[in-house]
Amino acid sequence: MTVEASDAEQADTAPKFILYLEGPEYGRALRGLTLWVHHVLLPVYGREVTSMAPWCSRWWEHPEAVAQLHGLWLAWGELSDTGSEAGASGPAAWHRDFLGPIMQNLRDPSGVFAGCRPGGHRPKEVPTVDAADPFGPPPG
């Protein structure tokens, strides 16, 4: 087998980023992410919920949170295996480069979960845009 074939096979088996998925494929990815968030991330790294560090108990209803948590999970899968190319320093790199910044961003008082309280999800309004495709052909 050539290196090129091996790279192509790896690309086929590599997980896709969740925002590129739809239907059952999205559902399976979200289920896997939910298991990781509920059984690894939150029990170990969740910390107490306060007004200065909010968390939404319905985090999966925030597309930005899903995207960020999925990226965090993918990085976990790559860096937590000390037998992989990441080596023994992989977990430390994951904590430094991914966990801290993402959790800080998610739990910022004006961030993704702003307005959500324990037991109280608040949907966010998507910003309005004047035109669906401002550089596309005019409707017509």
Are 129 and 136 in contact by the 8 Å Cβ rule? The answer is: no
Here the tokens at position 122 are 């608040």
Per-residue pLDDT at 3 exceeds 80: no
> Which tens digit of pLDDT belongs to each residue from 17-27?
999 999 999 99
> Which tens digit of pLDDT belongs to each residue from 60-95?
999 999 999 999 999 999 999 888 888 999 999 999
Task: List Cα–Cα distances, 34 to 45, 52, 79, 105, in angstroms.
Answer: 15, 24, 19, 19
Q: What is the mean pLDDT of the chain?
A: 88
Mean pLDDT of 102-130: 88
